[in-house]
Amino acid sequence: MLSAAPLMSDTGTLEELGMKQAVRVAEAQEIVLGCVQPVGVEKVALLEALHRVTAEEVTAQRHIPLDDNSAMDGYAVRHADVASATRDQPAVLEVLEILPAGKRPRHRIAPGTAVKIMTGAPLPEGADTVVQVEHTDGSDTRVQIYRAPHLGSNLRRGEDIRQGECVLAAQTFLRPAELGVLASVGKAQVLVYQRPRVAILATGDEIIDPGEPDTQGKIINSNSYTLAGQSAEAGASPLLLGVAPDDRAIMSQRIASGLRADVLITSGGVSVGSFDYVRECLEAFGFQARFWTVAVRPGSPATFGMVGHVPVFSLPGNPVASMVTFELFVRPALRQMMGRCDLFRPRLDAVLQDAVEKRRGVRTLLRGVLRQDEGQTTVTTTGPQGSGILRSMSLANCLIDLPEDTERLQPGARVEVMLL
């Protein structure tokens, strides 16, 4: 059960962080999305376009298929010649040629004749029906047809795409099927929105990278790797800047490097600690803050602003708070910068299996496990919910989103969850 004691941020009470002036989550999201634009467009080959977003409308320059063609291996015929065919009295037709896919027919179908045709081959002039080979004796010279087909059977009449038709609108997310559509209309390259380059900087003297000597008082840098993974999973291109110690000169140098990317994310160093230099260094580069804190747990000391045209997110140092605030604010921004229309994670309702308590006035996101249980969608917490318990994110497949005015919920309550 979550404690109902006064809510603590990553480094202090809400009051210490000026939580009374904190923006709500929805307001913060609106601010962020109002500041970011697509980063640009580029033309890429089809194999590089998977999971990108089109920056152009694509129209067909011809019918697909170009001609009426056979949907079956069989015989192209005049329906009038086979309309009364039965096994006892088969229709017998002279076979003029064998026509594979990719070849043009050399003969016109005249009364009493047929062309042996393969799937995808263009229909010869004069034919109006294809008899599938299973209903014939399969001859290459003089075929017997044992069953009367319907007029127009087994034909594909430019059924896929028509000339001039819009096959993909701008801002279409490209899955494998869309790549196939692009290929079918002859597009070897497509104009797509660029992937934003996301620079990620961990801060603090106490932070070391994996593989460095693990001395007392040090914390291994997990945030850079979770944030890089989240950025890549959102479709962006992450760039790790390492760890900046609590040294103004080094931190300013790393921030300057990060500002050459399309987005800069820092983790740690934006709260009230006496050695938190991130804010000071950012302001030296002209940082214009849009908000400093958000009424959310975990992650209240999440800061967002702009340095010129570069969005800067300064996220909390605690690992869960860093990941949760990325999901709420950074991920939607990155997707908007890539031209995506579906900015937010899917949500659904579930039946809570735990009793939980939280502080009124603060939106709270708990790590949860969503299940289908006898036809009912249920959710349980992952256990202890401290913002430093990174394993709670590893165990979770959703976030349980508890609104500001909620204080206590009992098992059986309906809650909204964000799918991860």
DSSP string, 340-387: -S--S--EEEEEE-S-EE--TTSEEEEEEEEEEETTEEEEEE-S---T
Predicted confidence (pLDDT) at residue 189 exceeds the cutoff of 70: yes
Report the C-alpha gap between 395 and 206 in whole angstroms: 26
Return the CATH class of domain 347-419.
mainly beta
Residue range 285-307: mean pLDDT, rounded: 94
Confidence at residue 5, expressed as pLDDT on a 0 to 100 scale = 29
Predicted confidence (pLDDT) at residue 8 exceeds the cutoff of 50: no
Locus of tokens 């991860």: 420
Tokens of 177: 């099927």
- Which pTM was predicted? 0.80
Tokens of 343: 């900015």
Lowest mean pLDDT among 120-129, 195-204, 273-282, 333-342: 273-282
Statement: 19-40+194-337 belongs to CATH 3.40.980.10? yes
pLDDT (tens digit per residue) in 359-373? 888 999 999 999 998
Locus of tokens 């009295």: 89
Confidence at residue 158, expressed as pLDDT on a 0 to 100 scale = 62
Report the C-alpha gap between 174 and 405 in whole angstroms: 40
CA distances 139 to 84, 117, 267, 388, Å, are: 20, 12, 75, 76
Q: What percent of the chain has pLDDT over 90?
A: 75
Contacts of 181 (CB under 8 A, 6+ apart): 58, 161, 167, 168
Predicted confidence (pLDDT) at residue 274 exceeds the cutoff of 50: no
Domain range list for the chain: 19-40+194-337, 42-63+165-193, 68-157, 347-419
Predicted confidence (pLDDT) at residue 217 exceeds the cutoff of 80: no
Alpha helix ranges (H) inside 56-188: 79-82, 176-184
Confidence at residue 159, expressed as pLDDT on a 0 to 100 scale = 63
Tokens of 155: 């034909």
Confidence at residue 271, expressed as pLDDT on a 0 to 100 scale = 59
Confidence at residue 206, expressed as pLDDT on a 0 to 100 scale = 80
| 332, 33 Cβ separation under 8 angstroms | yes
pLDDT band at 153 (very low <50, low <70, confident <90, very high): very high
- Give the mean pLDDT of the chain: 90
Report the C-alpha gap between 240 and 200 in whole angstroms: 5
Confidence at residue 289, expressed as pLDDT on a 0 to 100 scale = 93
pLDDT band at 67 (very low <50, low <70, confident <90, very high): confident
Report the C-alpha gap between 106 and 237 in whole angstroms: 54
Statement: 68-157 belongs to CATH 2.30.30.60? no
C-alpha triplet 363, 365, 368: angle, nearest 5°: 155
206 vs 314, higher pLDDT: 314
Confidence at residue 60, expressed as pLDDT on a 0 to 100 scale = 87
Residue range 172-186: mean pLDDT, rounded: 95
Predicted confidence (pLDDT) at residue 20 exceeds the cutoff of 70: no
Give me the half-sphere count of Cα atoms (radius 13 Å) on the Cβ side of residue 234: 35
Predicted confidence (pLDDT) at residue 13 exceeds the cutoff of 70: no
CA distances 223 to 152, 250, 287, 319, 404, Å, are: 63, 19, 23, 6, 27
| 264, 239 Cβ separation under 8 angstroms | no
Q: Is 171 left (phi over 0), alpha (psi -120 to 50) or beta?
A: left
DSSP string, 5-18: SPPB-SSSBTTTTT
Q: Which residue(s) pair with 40 in the sheet?
A: none
Tokens of 193: 């929105």
Residues in the chain: 420
Statement: 42-63+165-193 belongs to CATH 3.40.50.1980? no
pLDDT (tens digit per residue) in 260-273? 999 999 998 665 55
Q: Which residue(s) pair with 157 in the sheet?
A: 68
Instruction: Tell how strand 166-168 and strand 58-59 pair up.
Output: antiparallel
Confidence at residue 273, expressed as pLDDT on a 0 to 100 scale = 52
Residue range 110-116: mean pLDDT, rounded: 97
